[in-house]
Amino acid sequence: MPSNAISAENFLNREAELSYLKSLPELKGKALGGNVFLEGARGMGKTELLKQLHRALFWEDNVVPFYYSFKTANQKGSYFAKDYFTRFVRQYISFVTKDSSIADNVAVPLQRLMPVISSLGLCWLIDCIDNFQAHVSKNDFYWQLVAAISAPVVAAQKSGKPVVVMLDDFDAAEHLYESSLDDAHGLISLFGESMQNRLCPHVITGSAGALGAIFTDHSLLGMTEQMRLGPLPEDLAAALFKTHLATLKITCAPDVRLTFLTILRGNPLYIRNLAKAASKMQKKELTEKDLVECYGFEVSEGETAFYWSSVFRRYVQSPTKRKAMVKLIMHAIENEGMEDRGRLSIVSGLCETETGAILDAMEASGIIRDKNAVFQDFIRALYMREIESRKPSDVREKIESKYLSESEASCFELVIPMSSNAELVVAKAVEQIGINMNLESEFLNYLQLALIEICINAMEHSGSYEKKVFLKFIARPNRLEIIIENSGRPFSLDSLTEHSVEEKLRMGMKRGWGFKLVYAIMDSVKVERINDRTRVILTKEIKNKEVHP
């Protein structure tokens, strides 16, 4: 029983949806409505809406609410049947007695509840329990499932009161099995008959991709409508955040406008988690900088990171395949989409069959469709931690720096083809950026020469299938950062052969000066391998808006 719902006054902007869901029993009884599939981005409040619906119906006396979550359910059929049936009986008795502790106390066996059931005159429920126990005694797997799933229908028919069945993360039921994984396909179809009963409207959540494959019965599809939960408006998102802060005894500094909250895109889960992160980091009066610091913690180590990690584990259990999934999603973020599966197996480090299975799981889960900034920052943090083995403090700093200086930064992106003289376009772009930043001309000349050679090296030696070099210039008042990236063969600074200036002159070497120049004029030079791409990051600190080589 979802007894941990937030207070009704803090449940914002969902009144219309809640009102409609409460009317489902009447609408379905008159053939004007049916079942509802709640869809929306993860964390948008689908589970919370079910909890609010359960609470609203629980304290009335017209409709029996039953909530079941597949998030933590045991997928072995016999265990699931017992859990589903037992939870329904507990919640039904709780509703009748208006005593929520009966549903919450899962340690008490059903036999201990028989005196209460008898005192309520629910003889049909005793028969229902005896019937289920008989199937268990006979080890009749199929009829255990049928008896459990049909229990809400039996209750509605015997009592005359409709039962609203709320199934959270219902697509996970597709993986029900008898003895071992995948040994009994199609068990989820047993829910079909209950969903068609006019006394039992179902409200379900889950991945749209997976549910589309589950609802193969056209009659069931015809009586199931979609209800999409969108983000909270900005004003309500800020109000919800302040409410959470007040509960945690945290205030906002007088000049804070909470503009950073726009990155959360009105997602109630992210809003709540950010407020809790402020509490964990012992913030008392939040500034805009505090918000960014809390956010960096939240997407790398906080509850949002834990939430997304648990989603991953549901679809890919193996640590090796989990890392492969992280690589694939990072690749999709960096390249704004996926490519053909044969090429992606190079990125994942697994064979094409295994890579295809991971991509199918990602598609079914809806992970690929989650393109919001919070999810992408979580992936970046996870990639840095698990693939690049960076320290948690470095990960947080990387995420935070992206937003702390973003408002002061000018960002320019350039893509050049791997063709003759294309590198000269880079030189011209650097010249203009340098003029805008008031950089010293001699430094600019050296930088242009260095970048030209780095780009030529990428063109000649990478073997890139894209035949492109990607450049990004990030200009801030006190820093210039240049990122050069290309696909193809790995490159490492350790692979460079050092020659003295005299030796280069003696040998007549006209090339190979690029990285020597870069080291001489830049403050930081890093080379990273991101999936099948090489990334060179050059950083120069600017003092008094003037740079000397």
Task: Kindly report, residue by residue over 460-471, the tens digit of the pLDDT.
Answer: 777 777 788 888
Q: What's 130's domain CATH number?
A: 3.40.50.300
**Percentage of the chain modeled with pLDDT above 70:** 85
Q: Which pLDDT band holds residue 21 (cuts at 50, 70, 90)?
A: very high
Query: Which range among 170-174, 223-227, 406-410 shows the weakest confidence by mean pLDDT?
Result: 406-410
Q: CATH number for the domain including 478? A: 3.30.565.10
Classify residue 254 by its DSSP letter.
T
Last residue within a domain, chosen from 375, 404, 433? 404
Last residue of a domain, one of 404, 419, 443: 404
pLDDT in tens, 236-248: 889 899 999 999 9
Using pLDDT thresholds of 50, 70 and 90, give the confidence band for residue 549.
very low
Domain boundary pick from 188, 204, 228: 228
Question: Among 187-196, 206-215, 474-483, whose mean pLDDT is lowest?
Answer: 206-215
Distance in angstroms (rounded) separating the CA atoms of residues 158 and 92 = 13
Q: Is the residue at 266 inside a domain?
A: yes
1 lies in a domain? no
Q: Which stretches does DSSP call E strand in 145-207?
A: 163-168, 202-205
Clarify whether residues 121 and 170 are in a common domain.
yes
Residue 89 near residue 73 (C-beta atoms within 8 A): no
- The answer on 273 and 200 residing in a single domain is no
213 and 236: one domain? no
Q: What is the pLDDT, as a whole number, of residue 510?
A: 43
The reported pLDDT for the residue numbered 514 is 59
**Opening angle at CA 119, ends 113 and 120, nearest 5:** 90
- The boundaries of the domain holding residue 412 are 406-541
| Residue 503 reports pLDDT greater than 60 | no
Are both 223 and 250 inside the same structural domain?
no
Beta pairing class for 468-476 and 410-417 = antiparallel
Question: Percent of the chain beyond pLDDT 90?
Answer: 29
**pLDDT of amino acid 406:** 52
Number of folded domains that form the chain? 3
Q: Which residue has the higher pLDDT, 430 or 64?
A: 64
Band of pLDDT at residue 545, cut at 50, 70 and 90? very low
pLDDT at 149 over 50: yes
58-71 tens-digit pLDDT: 998 899 999 999 87
* For residues 133-159, average pLDDT: 94
Instruction: Specify whether 144 is located in the same domain as 213.
Output: yes
CB distance 145 to 190 below 8 Å: yes
CA angle 429, 434, 436 (to 5 degrees): 100
Residues 512-528 as b or e (16 or more Cβ within 10 Å = b): ebbbbbbeebbeeeebe
Label residue 513 by pLDDT band (50, 70, 90): low
